Amino acid sequence: MFRAPHTFMRLDLFLKASRLCLRRTVAQELCDAGAVFVSDAPAKSSRVVRVGDEIILRRRGQVLKLRVAMLPATRQLARSEASQLYEIISNSREAEETEETENTFDPIVST
């Protein structure tokens, strides 16, 4: 049976279908933590996404900015098809605020 593609989808369902998050609950937790933005605004997991929306996903020091290319007709997709749902705009690491300290200790060697 042919199903017409959706024109909109919940954000948490999209993140799961696109395999950007392994489970829907993980996607919901990321949204609740403020790590997901849609169109530069913090997004709730129930927010509707459409083709063309830009999503920013922050996790583990990584910032992934992507554009929704298409929405799936079904909730479950093959792994090979999941990456076709979005196009990556940028993928970068957040600036880490840890400073490397050099060992300035110079031991005195006696002979």
Output the CA torsion sign for 10, 16, 21, 26: positive
pLDDT confidence tier of residue 49, bands split at 50, 70 and 90: very high
We report the CATH number of the domain holding residue 60 as 3.10.290.10
Q: Domain for residue 59, yes or no?
A: yes
The pLDDT assigned to 109 comes to 53
Q: Domain for residue 99, yes or no?
A: no
Q: Domain for residue 18, yes or no?
A: yes
Q: Domain for residue 83, yes or no?
A: yes
How many independent structural domains does the chain possess? 1
Q: Domain for residue 103, yes or no?
A: no
What is d(CA 66, CA 70) in angstroms, rounded to the nearest whole number? 12
Q: Domain for residue 110, yes or no?
A: no
The pLDDT assigned to 31 comes to 95
Q: Domain for residue 73, yes or no?
A: yes
The pLDDT assigned to 105 comes to 47
Closest listed residue to residue 86, CA positions, set 9, 1, 3, 2: 9
pLDDT tens-digit series, residues 16-42: 999 999 999 999 999 999 999 999 999
Q: Domain for residue 105, yes or no?
A: no
- Domain, as residue range, for 21: 9-91
**Greatest CA separation found in the chain?**
87
The pLDDT assigned to 79 comes to 87
| pTM for the full predicted model | 0.77
